[in-house]
Amino acid sequence: MNIVVFIKQVPDTNDVKWTPNNNIDRASMDSIMNPVDKQALEAALRIKEQNGSKITAVTMGPNKAVEVLKEAVAMGVDEAVLLCDSKFAGSDTLATSKVLSASIKEKFKDTDLILFGQSAIDGETSQTGPAVAVRLNMPFISQVNEVLELTDEYITVNSETETYKTTCKLNLPCVICINNYIFKPRLARIEGYIKAQDYNYKSYNLYELNLGECDTGIKGSPTYVSKVYRKDDKRTCNFVNTAEELASSIKEVIKS
């Protein structure tokens, strides 16, 4: 069985910097593997331990994104691929889904199972995984918190949202999006880090994925961020000594 896990390098959200186009300036920031994608990676590694599957980790980003691929290799994936082209810069979820689905169509046609983290901490849209599934005409399910059964023909999973729980059986190939805080991602071992340093990473650009310049980046992204600002969390505190003073204070707040 061939499994592809899409992972993303995300910035340290405690120190976000922005470009003139109001996109995140990833080049100037410290970056990590998206924590929810690491959950998806752990899910794939557990499947591999049970089924002997081959796992390919794929990320889209600049050359520095190879760092998350190194971490994935150190954790135990079999292959790691970077989708890298300056024309990908500024892609929204629509354009990103075009690139990721093109990588499956052009380079990983024999994929049986595609895993995503439910969302990325730099966007929290939860759109990319479902969008890729639609482009590939594959069944998909989001917010998966448990893999119950996996055969050569289907996968059975539990999905849980804030309002419901459900068990679903999907025919392969398919796409599933893993919830956060489901698995405890394993720590890489020394031999994994050694393998990661010597690993020969594959890289594909726009033309190798059979895409046009208007498909990705700013040109291929209908979403435009018009304004970015930091929320002011400053609050005032009023001290009261009696229940009457508290009631009066609340009344004034309601009136205002």
- So where are the chain's domains? 2-228
Condensed to tens digits (0 to 9), the pLDDT of residues 126-169 reads 899 999 999 999 999 999 999 999 999 999 999 988 888 999 99
pLDDT of residue 228: 66
Q: Indicate the average pLDDT of the chain.
A: 89
| CATH topology assigned to domain 2-228 | Rossmann fold (3.40.50)
Report the pLDDT value the prediction gives residue 149, as an integer from 0 to 100.
94
Rounded distance between C-alpha atoms, residue 77 and residue 4, angstroms: 10
pLDDT band at 226 (very low <50, low <70, confident <90, very high): confident
pLDDT at 245: 86
Percent of the residues in the chain that have a pLDDT greater than 70, as a whole number: 90
DSSP string, the chain: -EEEEE--EEE-TTS--B-TTSSB-GGGS-EEE-HHHHHHHHHHHHHHHHH--EEEEEEESSGGGHHHHHHHHHHT-SEEEEE--GGGTT--HHHHHHHHHHHHHHH-TT--EEEEES--TTT----HHHHHHHHHT--EEEEEEEEEEE-SSEEEEEEE-SS-EEEEEEESSEEEEEPTTSS-PPPPPHHHHHHHHH---EEE-TGGGT--TTSSTTTT--------------------SSHHHHHHHHHHHHH-
Q: What pLDDT, in 10s, does the model give residues 73-129?
A: 999 999 999 999 999 988 889 999 999 999 999 999 999 999 999 988 877 788 999
The pLDDT of residue 135 is: 96
pLDDT in tens, 32-47: 899 999 999 999 999 9
- Determine the pLDDT at residue 230: 63
> Would strands 9-11 and 31-33 be described as parallel, antiparallel, or unpaired?
antiparallel
pLDDT at 13 over 70: no
Which pLDDT tens digit goes with each residue over 79-89? 999 999 999 98
- What does the pLDDT read at residue 114? 97
Q: Which residues contact 13 (CB under 8 A, 6 or more apart)?
A: 121, 122
> According to the model, what pLDDT value does residue 177 have?
95
Average pLDDT over residues 59-76: 93
Quick one: tokens of 166? 């459900």
Between CA 114 and CA 138 the distance in angstroms is: 10
Please report the pLDDT score of residue 52 as a whole number: 87
8 Å CB contact between 114 and 131: no
pLDDT in tens, 211-225: 998 899 888 888 877
